[in-house]
Amino acid sequence: MVIDLDRCTGCEACVVACHSENNIGMSTPEEAARGRVNHWIRIDRYYEGQFPDIKVKYRPVLCQHCDEAPCEPVCPVNATYHNPEGLNVQVYNRCVGTFYCANNCPYTVRSFNWFDPKWPEPMQLQHNPDVSIRPGGVMEKCTFCIQRIKRVEDQADAAGRPVADGEVQPACVQSCPAEAMIFGDLNDPDSKVSRLAGDGRATKLMEELGTKPKVVYLEKAR
């Protein structure tokens, strides 16, 4: 994934899109006050400088799907692992909630279900049947909307054609009004994400830790 910070407005459409797609449990004010709000994607915002010459940095942060993911080797039950497509995935029914993965994630993008999520009737009508509901005691995180990837792959398979560049859109990418988020195949040198990843503005978050993140940020042009 490539995120162009020169386009990003910090509007948080992606945050709500992610909730809508992935059946993320709702918080209550009481639980939120204890730091128990679950977001798979967040907008970090930082202030730089002093008024009146103050600048704001918005940065959407989600699971970076690291090639050397620090969360993976510490899981005692292999609930989080690298799938053959290079996604860092979470097997919910293996997770026993040790929290080791979240403690080891430098990007703090993992969310824990402290309780069974509740949706007052009839809010469950909105649930996406393609995404399982996670019970209490289970860790969860961004999957790059693996269900949307699979759907497009299946359609392409059925039609006997390869998946087209840009055809797969995780919910956050699909929603982004400024088209700041782009998703594609980094292994395909001709894909849009590969071209953008070679841009002079490209950086990766905390790359110095050796995590080899697969989310590329295009820094704001100055």
Partner 1 sequence: MSMERRNFFKILSTASAGVVATGCGTDSDKLIPLLVPEQDLIPGVEYWHPSVCTSCPSGCGVVARVMDGERIIERTTAGKTEKLRQRLAAIKKLEGNPLDHVSGGRLCARGQAGVQSLYNPDRIRGPLKRSGVRGEATFQPISWKDAISEASDQLLKVKNEAADRIAIVTGPVASSRSNALRGFAKAIGAPEPLVCSVASHAAERKAAEIALNWQGIPFYDIANARHILSVGADFLGGWVSPVNYARQFGAFRQARMEVRGYLAHAESRLSITASAADQWLPLKPGSEAQFLGAVGRILLDLNLAPKAASLPPNVLAAFKALDLAAFIAATGIEERKLRLAVEQLGKSEGPLVLAGASTVHTNSVDAIVASHYVNMMLGNVGNPGGIQAPAKSPIEPLTNTKFAAALSQARAIVLDEANPLYTAPKAAHVREALTKAGFVLSFATTLDDSAAWADIILPAHHALEGEIAVAPAAAARVSLAIGGTFVQPLYETQPISNTLAELAGGMNVTFQPATVKEIAEPLLPKDLTWETVVREGGFHTDATPAAAPLTKSKPAPKAAAPTNAFALNAAKFEGDGPFLLQPYLSPQLHEGASSNLPWLQECPDPASSAVWSLPVEIDPVTAQKLGIATGDNVKLESASGSITAPAYIHPGAVPGVLSMAIGGGHTHFGRFASGRGANPLEILALATEPATGDLATGATRVRLTRVGPGKDLIQYSSEDKEERPHAHR
Nearer to partner 1, 3 or 79 (CB): 3
- The least CB distance from residue 96 to partner 1, in Å, is 27
Report, in Å, the least distance between residue 176 CB and partner 1. 7
Q: Which is nearer to partner 1, 103 or 124 (CB)?
A: 124
Closer CB to partner 1, 100 or 217, in the complex: 217
Alpha helix segments (H runs only) across 23-170:
29-33, 100-104, 146-159
Least distance to partner 1 from the beta carbon of 67, Å?
Answer: 19
DSSP state, residue 4: E
Q: Which residues contact 81 (CB under 8 A, 6 or more apart)?
A: 72, 75, 88, 89, 91
Of residues 139 and 170, the one with the C-beta less far from partner 1: 170
Quote the least distance from Cβ 51 to partner 1, whole Å: 6
3-state secondary structure 95-115: CCCCCHHHHHCCCCCCEECCC
Residue from 62, 85, 81, 219 nearest 150 by CA? 85
